[in-house]
Amino acid sequence: MFNKLFFLAIIIGVPLSVAGNLLHWPEAIMFIVYCLTIVALAAYMGRATESLAIHSGPRIGGLLNATFGNAVELIISIFALKAGYVSIVLASLTGSVLGNLLLVGGLSFFIGGLRFKRQKFNVHDARHNSALLMFGVVVAFVFPEIFAMDLNEGEALTLSIWVSCILIGLYLAALFFKLVTHRGVYSSEGGDEEAHEEEAEWTGKKALIILALATAAVAYVSEALVHTFETVGEQFGWSEVFIGVIIVAIVGNAAEHASAIIMAYKDKMDIAVEIAVGSTLQIAMFVAPVLVLLSLIFPTPMALVFTVPELVAMVLAVLLTNTIANDGDTNWFEGATLLAAYFIMGVGFYLL
């Protein structure tokens, strides 16, 4: 059903997006069209990546999933940086961390917990990811913020570049650890490991063509979406921070979010948790640093310095998630707790 809806959204949404952009239709209406179209395209990018991953084997497949997991948000952020919306990009990174950990994690635990009283997942992966979350969000994001108080703008940017390079290096090391040196070492403790071979939905050639076309379409629609931010913010009374934290973050990750919730409903919690936490790690340790480095080619470079509310929200989200997920099992009430935290933070950012 979802696949048919996404296909319909692409068939209608892409031509409407092109026509609306060329003919300058009302930006508030086109903002909605662009968002829905990007969500549908992201779903097809995910399906194509999954098919390629199965054809390529576990190691290359894991690398493909890690590379394209947040491709949509990366594309949107690049065009936002090009347009000078640095605050929206930083806010969208914050929103992705909050959305993945609190919204997606919360919905997965809650919906899965309504069907199963207790759900288990790999406790070793959970603890490994907890340590990386503490480093990637708490250490790497808090550190530049504290030092930026005593640095000028240029020095803060230099610090951000160094931090970004170190983050990318550690992220690549984490992939090497998980996909090469320790692949399968802890799998015996997982709650839903599957023994059978997966079958790819599409052939490798078809998946590659769909991925290329969907990525090109996302790039076009994303550029058009970015140009509506100012008008939409004025008409709806949304600040740039709210647009980034809530709107851009949800649009960029919606298809992936849906996958995590479906996996939780099927009691495949290892996959659900990996999507929620793994995507957060990719945002913190790969997407954010890459955006810092790419911003150097644009007129307004981006330092890895968040506002205090953004920083506090991310740190609290990491601490709460680690506390709840560190024991390797969950239930619907723990999901409700994560959701409550997300809604509290959402209201706060709306009022900023």
Cα–Cα distances (Å) from 224 to 35, 42, 96, 301, in that order, read 10, 16, 21, 21
3-state class of 119 per DSSP?
Answer: strand
**What does the pLDDT read at residue 191?**
44
Written as one string, the DSSP assignment of 124-153 is: HHHHHHHHHHIIIIIIHHHHHHHHHTTS-H
**What does the pLDDT read at residue 190?**
43
Question: In 3D, which of 148, 141, 149, 145 has the Cα closest to residue 166?
Answer: 141
Average pLDDT rounded to a whole number, residues 31-55: 89
Q: Give the model's confidence band at 198: pLDDT under 50 very low, under 70 low, under 90 confident, else very high.
A: low
Sequence-separated (6 or more) residues with CB below 8 Å from residue 286: 66, 70, 167, 168, 171
What percent of the chain clears pLDDT 90, i.e. is strictly above it?
Answer: 55
Distance CA 293, CA 133 (A): 21
Q: Residue 293 belongs to what H/E stretch?
A: helix 288-294
Taking only the tens place, the pLDDT of each residue in 109-161 is 999 999 998 999 888 878 888 888 889 888 889 888 888 888 898 999 999 99
Question: Considering only 171-175, 231-235, 254-258, which range has the smallest mean pLDDT?
Answer: 254-258
Distance CA 85, CA 92 (A): 11
Cα-flanking dihedrals φ and ψ of residue 329, to 5°? -145, 165
Question: Considering only 58-67, 130-139, 171-180, 186-195, which range has the smallest mean pLDDT?
Answer: 186-195
**What does the pLDDT read at residue 4?**
80
Does 105 have pLDDT greater than 50? yes
Distance CA 138, CA 167 (A): 12
- Average pLDDT value for the chain: 88
- Give the domains, in start order, of the chain with CATH numbers: 2-351 (1.20.1420.30)
Indicate whether this model's pTM tops 0.75.
yes
Question: Considering only 50-59, 78-87, 233-242, 331-340, which range has the smallest mean pLDDT?
Answer: 50-59
**What does the pLDDT read at residue 192?**
44
Average pLDDT rounded to a whole number, residues 223-245: 92
Q: Give the model's confidence band at 184: pLDDT under 50 very low, under 70 low, under 90 confident, else very high.
A: low
Q: Give the model's confidence band at 85: pLDDT under 50 very low, under 70 low, under 90 confident, else very high.
A: very high
**What does the pLDDT read at residue 64?**
75
Question: In 3D, which of 236, 308, 328, 317 has the Cα closest to residue 283?
Answer: 317
Taking only the tens place, the pLDDT of each residue in 264-278 is 988 988 888 888 888
Does 207 have pLDDT greater than 70? yes
Taking only the tens place, the pLDDT of each residue in 51-66 is 888 887 766 776 677 6
| CB 165, CB 140: distance < 8 Å | no
**What does the pLDDT read at residue 186?**
59
**What does the pLDDT read at residue 194?**
47
